[in-house]
Each structure stands twice: as structure tokens, then as C-alpha cells.
Structure 1
Amino acid sequence: MPQTTPETADWVSRLADEVIAEAERRAPGKPVVCASGVSPSGPIHLGNLREIMVPHLVADEIKRRGVPCEHILSWDDYDRFRKVPAGVEGVDASWNEHIGKPLTAVPAPPGSLYPNWAEHFKAPLVTALGEMGVEVRQISQTAQYTAGAYRDQILFAMRERRRIDAVLGRYRTKQAEQAPEPSGDAAERAAVEGSGAAGEDDGSGGSGAYYPYKPYCTVCGRDTNTVTAYDDGTTELSYACECGHEETVKLAEHTRGKLVWKVDWPMRWTYEGVVFEPAGVDHHSPGSSWVVGGHLVREVFGGERPIGPMYAFVGIQGMAKMSSSRGGVPTAADALRIMEAPLLRWLYARRRPNQSFKIAFDGEIQRTYDEWDALGRKVADGTAQPADVASWTRAVGTAGGPLPATPHPLPYRTLASVVDVTTGDEEQTLRILGDLDPAHPVRSLDETRPRLDRAACWVETQMPAESRTRVRPEPDAELLASLDDEQRASLRLLVDGLADHWSLDGLTTLVYGVPKMRAGLPADAKPTPELKAAQRAFFALLYRLLVGGETGPRLPTLLLAVGADRVRTLLGG
């Protein structure tokens, strides 16, 4: 099978090499299993997405090599509802009454199309993953537990409860002393708070005996109870709930409960045969579920912990009102409203898992798109570095084929500027886009989609109101009357050159060239401090006459958007 070389290796290829070798050592001839786990306890944000993207990229590379591989996404939807998240529309303090119930037993937010809390928050991510080409086999832990899929594993864990307690006991003090502190980043705080392991008890306490199984009360539906007795022979388990209900059930038949998280996770590693699964920073502190789980899976369940890196948090730069209703932490669906799926994939593919990075929702997204387009050109002409080619290839398609792409991908910043100036008028937008490059004109807006739609959404939802462009309805007569001879001459050169330079490249040459001509310099003159100062002054004058400010969209794009006749009018020509 293909192996990476030092010249072509990127982090995905190197991990794929390791995973294939490890899978062959553990279970020769069986499909490789890569895993992700997500708790749908609230909006599933872009930090959580890394939990899915790292295994996806590795699994996809393994599939590209022709090796059978499966990526499972375990929905931890049988976890307890721990807290009411902030910023969920229609959800208030009344949801506190559901704390302690399984996520699938909590009502969905008002107006939801889904039957419960978990399904409501799963749905947007499932749709986003489909758009991104991420193939997973979804496993609902509610379905698994209530169907009795883990019955043998639960009975085994209860028989081995003293051994489990002994392993956990070695780490309880360490966890309390060395638990990681989340940073001030909103996504990081949400990741730590929403983690299936964070704050989850390990089954200790209560009656003094240790039990790794937690039933959900038959009466109130919560896990706010204490197991008071268990008989290994009959499998009878007794519990007392805070609601006052006491009950004895037969665990060999009981399906309304689950193993505590620190036992549940290593049990499932063995049950699913997981070879590769990464874990976030919060899972890697002493006493965490990842560390303790590694001992439990080996010492109790007779399996092995998956191999997999620790991944760093994903931050967000410049959130605006798009995410304000979600507590300030945007989701994959939010990102896909303002950027194309290949770009979002690339942001995760190009960084090693232990590297943190930020996803731009502010004007920096334009620079991100510029970088993405530049990489595409380098790949096309063969000048890109091998690792960059690898990340680009992983972004634009999967082992199953290419992702949909914009047929005529114009610069994102240009599209945003045009939409801003035209306020989304399609006829005006098409006129301007058609003039950008006369040699390759845009004849239909469909050629520029979906990128055009993403840029339009960014302008509508993320562009600050004070940055919106408002072209003057009438010439600024007072400013025009105050111009000196040099300024008038510069404007005359620009106006006279419009007809011969009416394209994006042509207008770029013209607006930069006018100060050169006025200084008696050739068109290809290299910039000097004096020339740069003259250009800045000229640009500022144009902005004042066109939009009433000192800055605005790139002037060539603005001129095209305003139109030649109106430009002549506003510039006094």
C-alpha cells in the first residue's frame, strides 16, 4: 500500500501510516475504525468540529489508499443534561427542571422541528457534515443503551467494580489538583463545559460502595440517585432517588441507565474496536477520562486505548450578530453560510491537530480567501509545496470524489464589495461582474455561486454597519469647488482614461498610474515614499468624492460598481 515519504508527508499522511500499521497489529484484515464522540448538549460549535475533522481526514486518507476504513460518530445523547446553555432562543430557567435527564428526554427548544433536545442540536451538524463531504456511521448512545446493546459489558463492569474503583482511585486526587483551566476564549470555555468528560462523576460517593452504573429514575427520569445495593448473582440493583422514589431492578434486563463516563468510554473502545480517536486538551490532564480510560481499557476490559493526538482548541475571530443568538460560539452551519465547504475543510486540514487556529468571521475572511485562491493557482501551475498540495487536495474532495465548487471563482473581497455597493441587486451585480474581466466575462450569476451567496451573507450578517458603502447620490459641489489645480488635473486624467481601462485590471493600472503620470514618471516606475504619499492622497480624494469617507472598497471594484457615467458625474467630469 502507498506510504508517505519525507518529501510528501503531511500530518494526515503520517497519522494514516501509523493507524494502518496499528490496525494491522491489533486485528489483521479487519476494517480500520476511526472514531469521534460528540455530546449534543447545546450548539455544536467549530471547536467541537475538530473532534470530527481530525478522524475524518485520517480515515479519508486511509480510504484513498484502498484500505477498508470506517469513521464512527458516537452521539453521547444518553448523557445527562448538565446545565441550561446560554443564548439558546426561547430557552429559559424553566429548563432547569430537566437537569439530570438524558439529553434525548429533554424537550427541544420552542418551535423546533425535532422531538427532543439532542436531535435538535444534532441536525445542523449532520447537514453541515453532508455539505462538507464527511461520511460517518452515526451511533446513538440512547439507542445502544435502551436496546441493551451493552448489557454484557455493563454486567461485567459491575462484577469488576472493585478493580475499576482501584484504578480510578489512583487518579482522583491528581485530577482535582491538575485539571486544566480554560482560557478566555469563548469556544474553549464552551468546549470544556460541554465535554462529555468535564465534570462527569466517576461513580464514587453516595452509599460508600462503588458502582460504575447510574440508573435513570423510573419516576422522575433523572440520574439524581444513589445505588444502594447490588447482587452479582441475581443482578438485582437497588437505588434511592432524590425525588423520593426507591426501586430494585434486575440489571440483566434494565435499560434505563448507563455506565459513568470514565467507564463508558473505555468500554466502547473495546466494543467498537476503535484504533484511532483524538481527544481535546481537557481530556489529557492527569485523572482525565483519556488518561484513566487508557488504564481501564487495558487492566479491566482487556483492550487497548486508541492511538490519537491531543488536539488544540479552535478560536473565532470577529463574530457578529450571526452567532449572537447562540451564546457567542458559532457552529459549522454558521461558518458554511459565509464560506464554501472546501475552504472550511482546508482550515482544519492545513494545521496539525496540536496547533490552535482561529476561523475569521470578520474582514479577515477576505484575506483567508485570498490565501486559498493563491494556493489554488500554485497547485494549478505546479509551484505549491507538497504539504500544501496535500491540504488543498483534502479540502476540495474526498475519497468519494470532488466537492461542489464555484465554476467562476472571483475574489471573495471583490464579490463582497460588489454586493455591498449594489445592496444585492442582481441585475447591477451581473453588470459589474461582467465588466471585471472582459476576456473572461461572467454571463450568469450562477457561474459565481455558491461563493457569491456566501459573500452576500457575510455582508448582510457580519459586515459592520459603519463599514457599509453608501455611494453619494449627488456630487459634493463644495468639495469639488475647493480642489486645487493639481487635484483637478488628476481627476481629469482618471475620467479621460475610464473608457480605455474599463476592467478590474485596467482600472487598477489607471488609479495607481494617475499619480505617476502627474509626477512625470513612467507607468512601470517603482514606488518611492513620495509616490506612495501621492497615491494615498489621490485615493483619499476619490473616496471622499465617491462615498464621502477616507476609505472604502478597493477603488477599481468601487469604480466598476458605481458605473462609468456616474463616476464621471461624481468626479465633476
Structure 2
Amino acid sequence: MSKNDFSSFTSIPKSWPFEEAAKLSDRIKSKKEKSDKPALLETGYGPSGLPHIGTFGEVARTSWVRQAYQALTGQPIKILAFSDDMDGLRKVPDNVPNKEMLAQHLGKQLSRIPDPFGTHDSFGAHNNAQLCSFLDHFNFEYEFASATDYYTSGRFDAALKRVLEVHDEIVTVVGKTLREERRATYSPVLPIHPETGIVMQVPMEKIDPVAGTVVWRDENGKAFETLVTGGHAKLQWKADWAMRWYALGVDYEMSGKDLIDSVKLSSRICKILGGEPPINLTYELFLDDQGQKISKSKGNGLSIEEWLQYAPEESLALYMFNAPKRAKRLFFDVIPKATDEYLKHVSDWAELEKNKDSLDDAEKEKIYNNPAWFIHQGQLPEKAGSPITFAMLLNLASVANAERAEILWGFLKRYDDTVSAETHPMLSKLVDCALAYYADFIKPNKDYRRPDDKEKQALTSLADKLRAVQGQSVTADELQNMVFAVGKEFEFEPLRAWFGCLYEVLLGQKEGPRFGMFIAVYGVSETIELIETALTRE
């Protein structure tokens, strides 16, 4: 989509990436010095551990802002995935081999520590490779940047000398946020010990902006004069963040709610250096099933690998897209809803695409507000979507106690003999995911309740009505109307109490699909048998 696609629009699409893109566009237009350089979006990564679900969320969301900006303006833009691989190793991670070896290198730069996996030149290089592989797997468009490369190549030299020029002002600003004992020794400069390679956190005895050097002492009292340029020193991370914004001209960067104060402080440092802080979007953090913030060290919440075991990656992308400023639970029970919401968005988009040439602006805007448009980078994939919801597949697996894909495909082909793994690849993926989700979360927690007298009468009536149409061609909508009619006949109030009865008594769970569709897919005769079993269950 080009800029001209929006020429007749009376307003910018309301989805949050377009709102962010509009802010970014205004920033680029307001710059005093015009440049042909693309707008720059940054995402940061600490390579002391492997990429995780938060990494996916931040890069995915930043990518959607990039996509909206390109669509809105037609101007160039890029994402810089920046790895702080000059950071000192603070502790040995739990999920790596050769821990004893790593323990001997605590405090040293990640890019100067041997790789415990034995596959790369350094631990930082190993984790950087993991990050790039991770981002490539999800087809993110980005440019990778290594702090070690940027520092040692001289890319940051001018900015680092500028830090020395305003050193005391930075110390004053940061010092107000520190405890008294830390304030007395704070410097934004972390020299690399020339003998041990350790990233030193020590007070500076002398700052020489002209020479670009600092004088400091190690724990043994030995004095050193170190160039801050050429990779001989790095900056404390809040000052480092600000320096990157200043040196690279970063226009946009999002970060989690836990970094609100850090964003404010780094923005002040960036202004002291003479730069303009980037636009920032603060996103909310994910919560576990108990409402607690998820933590890699605690292991609560979900990992990407766990999510993708039970649902396609598009559902995870949708979960990240929805309401980034609202705290959300990130646990297994959110997966089915996210999956079916994604399928609905794809279906809505596909319907609009059929008549794209004749759509008015309001209908076009629906496409650009559709999360699936972002997830699929503006191109609706062939054979996208599924004629059967994930919730339906889960319920089929539940009532059939399905442990093999062939069982579910048997029901699906009887309902629609045109479906297959080849013609409906998303459905095929959902079948496999449904079997895994059923085995791990539904089967162990099935809890059938016995119906009360009124419910027994209603269920008996539904079974009788189904017998009357047994062997006939009946649509899912007609079956749904039949179910509704029984609920109204027996005066269930509210009517959802009737559907709650169907789910809890027949399926052994609190929620379920449109029951008419369930009957159509599962089978009229099979549903009658399901009701009879429930009525005789002790």
C-alpha cells in the first residue's frame, strides 16, 4: 500500500500502530535538519540470556509501527535490533552448559567470554546468533547491531567524548535517583580493565574531554588512564541508552512499564547531550495466572515454545497486537480465545478483499485496522483461515477423547468432504494443536455435572427434536435455532444458563462453541447419544 491509498481518507486508521505512526510522522516533519535518512526505530536486547516472549512482543509491535508508517507516508524507515553485548556478565544463567567455566569470567564483557555451548567465538556472539535466528524465524525486517561492533569501530566515539564534556551534569541528574553511598562513586563511564577485561564500576578521579580519557583506580589501588573511545570503555545502561539515541538519531523506541523511570532519566540525559529523545510507547507487562508479573527467573507465565505447542504463531502475534497498554494474563487458558479471534480477523479481511476495488473509505479503513493485516504484512496469504474454529476442534477432541488426528479429520470430512490438510493448511495445524491442548489441559480437568430435573426435561426434548431430523440435511443455523427454541421453551433465564447446561453436562467444561455448529460437525446421531449418556450418568 502506498501513501496515495490514504489520499482520500478523512482520517488516519484508528488502530494503535497508525496512531504511533502519525506521531512519528509529525516528529520527522518537525526536524530542523531535513535528511534523506530513514526514520529509525530501535529495539534493545540484553544478550545474557536467550530471546523470550517479551523479545517477540517488542519487536513485533515495533514492526507494526514500521508497517503503518510506511503505509501512511511512503517514506523509508528501518528497525535497529541493538544487542548490548558489551555488558558485563553479572551471574551465570541457569540454562547453559559449562557453568563452572562461565563463573570464571563474571564481570567480563559478554562478547569477550568463551561460548559455553562451544559453537561461537563468544557467549555474546552465541546469544546474538540466537536472537537473529529467532527474529528471522518470524520474518521480522530489521538491521542487527552489536554494541561491541559500534563501540570498537568508533561509531560512538564522538558521542562518548560528548559524554565527558557533560559528565558532571549527567552525574548530578542520575545522582538524584541513587542511594547516598552509590551517589558518591557514580560515573556514567565504565572503563574496561586493561589487564583483567572486567567491566569496572568505579569512581572517576579525572575526566579529560579534550583527550577523551578518564583516570580511575581498581580494587588494588592501581591507577589507569583509559580512552573512552574505541571500545576501551562503555557506559552505564541508562546513560548508554541515552547516548545511543543521541548518536544514532533514534526516532522511536517502545519499552515496558517497568522502565518508565528509566525512560524519563535517559531522556533527560539525551537532552543534556544535545539530542532529542525518541517517541516512546510504554506497554504493559504480562501477568501469570495468579495476576503476578511474569519473570524468566521465576518461570511463571508462558514461553514462546509452549504457546506454539498449542496454537499457531499468528495467534501469539494477535495476542501481542491487542491493547499493548493494558496488562494481560499470559497463561495457557488465553490461547483458544486468541486463536479464534485471529481466525475471525482473517475471515473478515478475506471478505473485504473480495470486493476491494469497490470499497468505500470506511470499508478500506476496516482492512487497515484489522490486526491480521499487520500480522501478515499487508498480504493476505493464500489458503488463510479455517472453516472450523479452534474451540470447536477442542470440543470435538473432548467428546471423542481424541488422541489421533485421524479421529478429528473423520468428523471434519463428514461435515465437509472438501477439507484436507492440503486445501486447508491452517485447519491442519489447528487439528494438531487441538490434540496437544486437549491432552494437557482439557482431559485432566473434565468435570461433568449431573443435570437437575428441569435440565433433564430440556435435554430430553432436544434429543427428541434431533431424532425428528435424523438422517435429514440440516444446517448448523437450523440446529442452532432448534437449541435456542428448547432453551426458550423451558424458560431458562438468562438463556445462557441453558448453554451453560449443555457445556457442563454434555462436554464437562464451563464454556463451549456455538452448539448448532457443534451438532453439525459432531453429528446428529452422535449428539443424541451424548445426551442419552449424560442423562444416565450416575
Shift of 1:495: 5.3
Question: What is residue 309 of structure 1 aligned with on the other side?
Answer: 281
For residues 29-75 of structure 1, what are the alpha-carbon distances to aligned partners after superposition, in whole Å with 9 as ceiling and x for unaligned?
Answer: 42211222222232444344443344322222222231111121111
Farther off after superposition, 88-97 or 63-72: 88-97
Q: Distance in 2 between matches of 1:131 and 1:358?
A: 25
Matched AA of 1:55: T
Matched AA of 1:296: I
**Structure 2 residue matching 1:8: 3-state secondary structure:** coil
Q: Distance in 2 between matches of 1:531 and 1:152?
A: 70
Q: Is 1:293 the equivalent of 2:300?
A: no
Stretches of structure 1 that go unaligned for 5 or more consecutive residues are 178-200, 473-478, 544-548
Q: 1:397 aligns with which of 361, 364, 376?
A: 376
**Structure 2 residue matching 1:309: 3-state secondary structure:** strand
**Structure 1 residue matching 2:197: 3-state secondary structure:** coil
Aligned ranges for residues 164-313 of structure 1 at < 5 Å? 164-174=167-177, 205-206=184-185, 211-224=187-200, 226=202, 239-242=216-219, 246=222, 248=224, 251=227, 255-285=231-261, 288=262, 290-300=263-273, 302-313=274-285
For residues 231-254 of structure 1, what are the alpha-carbon distances to aligned partners after superposition, in whole Å with 9 as ceiling and x for unaligned?
Answer: 666656555444x59574652775
Aligned ranges for residues 103-122 of structure 1 at < 5 Å? 103-106=110-113, 116-122=122-128
Q: Are residues 415 and 315 of structure 1, via their aligned partners in 2, closer, same or farther at CA, if it must alter by over 3 Å? A: same
Question: What is residue 432 of structure 2 aligned with on the other side?
Answer: 456
Shift of 1:456: 3.3
Q: Distance in 1 between matches of 2:142 and 2:233?
A: 26
For residues 388-419 of structure 1, what are the alpha-carbon distances to aligned partners after superposition, in whole Å with 9 as ceiling and x for unaligned?
Answer: 851435434326x4467635352111233345
Q: Distance in 2 between matches of 1:249 and 1:24?
A: 44
Q: Distance in 1 between matches of 2:51 and 2:385?
A: 31
Q: Are residues 450 and 469 of structure 1, via their aligned partners in 2, closer, same or farther at CA, if it must alter by over 3 Å? A: farther
Matched AA of 1:280: G
Q: Is 1:346 the equivalent of 2:335?
A: no
Q: Are residues 534 and 16 of structure 1, via their aligned partners in 2, closer, same or farther at CA, if it must alter by over 3 Å? A: closer
Shift of 1:312: 2.6
Question: What is residue 408 of structure 1 aligned with on the other side?
Answer: 386
Q: Is 1:152 the equivalent of 2:158?
A: yes
Q: 1:69 aligns with which of 77, 84, 95?
A: 77
Task: Determine if contact 2:402/2:435 at 8 Å carries over to the other structure.
Answer: no
Task: Determine if contact 1:38/1:75 at 8 Å carries over to the other structure.
Answer: yes
Stretches of structure 2 that go unaligned for 5 or more consecutive residues are 353-358
Q: Are residues 375 and 254 of structure 1, via their aligned partners in 2, closer, same or farther at CA, if it must alter by over 3 Å? A: closer
Task: Determine if contact 2:99/2:116 at 8 Å carries over to the other structure.
Answer: no
Q: Distance in 1 between matches of 2:503 and 2:229?
A: 78
Q: Is 1:327 the equivalent of 2:299?
A: yes
Q: Is 1:435 the equivalent of 2:414?
A: yes
Q: 1:137 aligns with which of 143, 148, 154?
A: 143
TM-score by length of 2: 0.74
Matched AA of 2:254: P
Q: Distance in 2 between matches of 1:89 and 1:461?
A: 29
Task: Determine if contact 1:422/1:428 at 8 Å carries over to the other structure.
Answer: no
Shift of 1:373: 3.8
Q: Are residues 316 and 224 of structure 1, via their aligned partners in 2, closer, same or farther at CA, if it must alter by over 3 Å? A: same
Q: Is 1:99 the equivalent of 2:106?
A: yes
Q: Is 1:426 the equivalent of 2:405?
A: yes
Q: Distance in 2 between matches of 1:298 and 1:538?
A: 62
Matched AA of 1:46: I
Matched AA of 1:398: Q
Question: What is residue 364 of structure 1 aligned with on the other side?
Answer: 334
Farther off after superposition, 128-137 or 58-67: 128-137
Task: Determine if contact 1:41/1:118 at 8 Å carries over to the other structure.
Answer: yes
**Structure 2 residue matching 1:304: 3-state secondary structure:** coil
Q: Distance in 2 between matches of 1:451 and 1:219?
A: 60
Q: Distance in 1 between matches of 2:155 and 2:24?
A: 27
Shift of 1:275: 1.8
Q: Are residues 90 and 165 of structure 1, via their aligned partners in 2, closer, same or farther at CA, if it must alter by over 3 Å? A: same
Q: Are residues 223 and 386 of structure 1, via their aligned partners in 2, closer, same or farther at CA, if it must alter by over 3 Å? A: same
Question: What is residue 25 of structure 1 aligned with on the other side?
Answer: 30
For residues 366-404 of structure 1, what are the alpha-carbon distances to aligned partners after superposition, in whole Å with 9 as ceiling and x for unaligned?
Answer: 2333444444455536897957851435434326x4467
Question: What is residue 59 of structure 1 aligned with on the other side?
Answer: 66
Q: Are residues 415 and 488 of structure 1, via their aligned partners in 2, closer, same or farther at CA, if it must alter by over 3 Å? A: closer
Q: Distance in 2 between matches of 1:235 and 1:108?
A: 32
Q: Distance in 1 between matches of 2:207 and 2:504?
A: 80
Task: Determine if contact 1:276/1:307 at 8 Å carries over to the other structure.
Answer: yes
Q: Are residues 540 and 282 of structure 1, via their aligned partners in 2, closer, same or farther at CA, if it must alter by over 3 Å? A: closer
Farther off after superposition, 383-392 or 427-436: 383-392
Q: Distance in 1 between matches of 2:140 and 2:282?
A: 21
For residues 160-197 of structure 1, what are the alpha-carbon distances to aligned partners after superposition, in whole Å with 9 as ceiling and x for unaligned?
Answer: 1xx322233134224659xxxxxxxxxxxxxxxxxxxx
Q: Distance in 2 between matches of 1:461 and 1:325?
A: 25
For residues 329-376 of structure 1, what are the alpha-carbon distances to aligned partners after superposition, in whole Å with 9 as ceiling and x for unaligned?
Answer: 54445444444444433334442x5x2232554333323334444444
Matched AA of 2:392: T
Aligned ranges for residues 433-512 of structure 1 at < 5 Å? 433-436=412-415, 438=416, 441-450=417-426, 452-453=428-429, 456-457=432-433, 459-460=435-436, 464-465=440-441, 467-468=443-444, 491=463, 494=466, 497-500=469-472, 508=480
Shift of 1:141: 0.8
**Structure 2 residue matching 1:74: 3-state secondary structure:** strand
Shift of 1:24: 3.0
Q: Distance in 1 between matches of 2:509 and 2:153?
A: 66
For residues 187-229 of structure 1, what are the alpha-carbon distances to aligned partners after superposition, in whole Å with 9 as ceiling and x for unaligned?
Answer: xxxxxxxxxxxxxx8xx654xxx75432333444322453555
Q: Distance in 1 between matches of 2:89 and 2:482?
A: 62
**Structure 2 residue matching 1:99: 3-state secondary structure:** coil
Q: Distance in 1 between matches of 2:17 and 2:49?
A: 29
Shift of 1:140: 1.0
Q: Are residues 314 and 325 of structure 1, via their aligned partners in 2, closer, same or farther at CA, if it must alter by over 3 Å? A: closer
- Percent identity for Structure 1 against Structure 2: 19
Q: Distance in 2 between matches of 1:533 and 1:247?
A: 78
Q: Distance in 2 between matches of 1:234 and 1:97?
A: 34
Shift of 1:79: 1.7
For residues 409-435 of structure 1, what are the alpha-carbon distances to aligned partners after superposition, in whole Å with 9 as ceiling and x for unaligned?
Answer: 521112333455464523223222223
**Structure 2 residue matching 1:308: 3-state secondary structure:** strand
Matched AA of 2:271: R
- The root-mean-square deviation of aligned C-alpha atoms, in Å, is 4.7
**Number of corresponding residues:** 505
Farther off after superposition, 59-68 or 11-20: 11-20
Q: Distance in 2 between matches of 1:395 and 1:173?
A: 42
Shift of 1:566: 7.0
Q: Distance in 2 between matches of 1:460 and 1:93?
A: 37
